Structures are given as C-alpha cells and as structure tokens.
Amino acid sequence: MEKFSMNLPTGYVNALNNRHNGRKLDTKRVAGLKERMDLFWLQYSKAKKSLDKLWIFWVEQNVEDHFMQPKWYNAHSRRKKHELAMLKNHRSMFYVLLEADGNSESFNQHWCISAEEIKEDFYRKYINKKG
C-alpha cells in the first residue's frame, strides 16, 4: 500500500485551520465581534418571526385572492421588507464570522451556511471554546 502525501502552502493550511477552529483573538476583540453577531442575530430573528406571522396572515386572509388590491400589495411589500432584512443580517453575520476567522470570501445566500449555523459556528469557535 502506497502512502499519499501532499505539500500545501502554509498560508492555505492556516486559512483552513482558522476556518474550522477559529484563530486566537484577544478577549476585547471577541467581545466586540460577539456584540455585533448578537445584534445581527437579533435583527435576523425579528425579521424571521415577522415573516412567519405574515405567512400565517397570508393563508388566513387568502392574500392571493386579492390580486392587485391594497391587501395584496401590502402583503407583498411586507414580505419583501422582511426577506431583505433577513438577507442583510445574514450577510452581516457571515462577514463578522469571516472577520473573526481572518478569511475572505464573498457572500452568496444560495451556497452560504445558514444564519443559525453561522451563529453556532461563531459561538463554538470563540465564545464556548474549551481550553
């Protein structure tokens, strides 16, 4: 049986390590990042809760049956507002995590981890760290 070995650039290996395990940050910096993460999470959660309430309203009031009427326009406007708020805060949480990890990527809502996973990952790496 042959052994496979691969030589990777140190910078690449360090970036992967930071992405999966976090990097060493001073407590003041972690506290600032945590404050921002918590703020974006709170705003994301509020928008998600509002959107969930809107979907209930949507079904109960048969919004689509009121096509091109004020109720229909209002519901679609509110849906768009809540979805944009969720997207904005999801993006912000993603960039806080990247800032903490010292990595750089671009946000794409279709392939990025969820806001919940971002928060869990950040807390695992920087807040609830063992050792």
What radius of gyration, in Å, describes the C-alpha atoms of the chain?
20
- The closest of 67, 89, 70, 88 to 78, measured between CA atoms, is 70
| Half-sphere exposure (Cβ direction) of 12: Cα atoms closer than 13 Å | 4
CA 88 and chain centroid, separation: 9
Quote the CA–CA distance of 91 and 109 in Å, as a whole number: 8
CA distance 93 to 90: 5
Residue type at 127?
A: I
pLDDT in tens, the chain (131 residues): 889 888 888 887 887 777 778 888 899 999 999 999 999 999 999 999 999 999 999 999 999 999 999 999 999 999 999 999 999 999 999 999 999 988 878 898 888 899 999 999 999 999 987 54
pTM here is: 0.85
Structure tokens at 104: 């750089």
Task: Determine the Cα angle at 108 with ends 107 and 110, to 5°.
Answer: 150
